[in-house]
């Protein structure tokens, strides 16, 4: 964290409070010229000065030192989806294609379940999840709750701590979008 960045953050807080440098000077008992120099990165304030300014702005001192996360924007073209076999059920392969890559706060996949196949035993993990049925009909089983019959364009949301599994009891392939907030890295 550099001095200029701290100055920029202080200036932004001051502007957000609709305060002039003179207003902040009066509220903090710090000279207006000193505040101006801090905001432009020409003065390296000591902790007592920072505390006085932050108190006047009603912001914690530590907030000036937090690094802001840069937005994680990722484009994953269809050509680079990473298909893999999720599991084999009744001799049929359940295919999954990851549609988000890298370390993320969520995981997204297109899942294809062939006729008369299922996802296997109940899955339990952290986070939350939703499924959106793109094609076909699917029975989604939430352990201890009930079974849900889902059709094209239906959505089901649930906490991942509830055991969950699905089965395709039809003669058609089922395609669904599955999005989970469980952090994965692919």
% helix, strand, coil for the chain, step of 5: 25, 35, 40
Burial 40-63 (b: 16+ CB within 10 A, else e): eeeeebeeebbebbbebbebeeee
Q: Where are the domains of the chain?
A: 3-65, 78-180
Is it the case that residue 98 has pLDDT exceeding 80? no
Residue-wise pLDDT for 157-180, tens only, equals 999 889 999 999 999 999 999 988
SS3 of residue 24 by DSSP: helix
Q: What CATH architecture is 78-180?
A: Sandwich (2.60)
The reply to whether 78-180 shares the fold of 3-65 is: no
Domain 3-65, CATH class in plain words: mainly alpha
Mean pLDDT for 73-91 is: 62
C-alpha distance from residue 71 to each of 74, 76, 104, 108 (Å):
9, 16, 11, 18
Strands lying side by side in the sheet with 138-142: 117-118, 164-168, 138-142, 146-150
Higher pLDDT, 117 or 2: 117
Q: Which of 110, 90, 112 is nearest to 99 (CA)?
A: 110
Mean pLDDT for 102-118 is: 81
**Which pLDDT does position 96 carry in this prediction?**
66
Is it the case that residue 59 has pLDDT exceeding 60? yes
Higher pLDDT, 45 or 74: 45
Contact between residue 84 and residue 96 where contact means Cβ atoms under 8 Å apart: yes
CA separation for the pair 64, 150 (Å, rounded):
49
């Amino acid at each position: 964290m550099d001095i200029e960045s701290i100055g920029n953050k202080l200036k932004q807080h001051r502007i957000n409070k609709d305060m002039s440098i003179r207003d902040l000077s009066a509220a903090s008992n710090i000279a207006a010229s000193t505040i101006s120099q801090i905001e432009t990165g020409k003065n390296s304030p000591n902790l007592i000065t920072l505390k006085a300014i932050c108190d006047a702005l009603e912001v914690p001192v530590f907030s000036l030192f937090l690094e802001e996360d840069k937005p994680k924007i990722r484009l994953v073209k269809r050509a680079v989806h990473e298909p893999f076999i999720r599991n084999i059920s009744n001799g049929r392969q359940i295919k999954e294609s990851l549609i988000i890559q890298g370390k993320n706060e969520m995981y997204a996949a297109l899942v294809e379940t062939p006729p008369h196949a299922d996802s296997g035993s109940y899955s339990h993990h952290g986070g939350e999840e939703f499924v959106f049925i793109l094609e076909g009909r699917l029975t989604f089983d939430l352990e201890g709750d009930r079974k849900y019959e889902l059709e094209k364009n239906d959505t089901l949301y649930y906490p991942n701590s509830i055991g969950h599994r699905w089965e395709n009891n039809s003669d058609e392939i089922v395609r669904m979008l599955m999005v989970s907030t469980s952090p994965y890295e692919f």
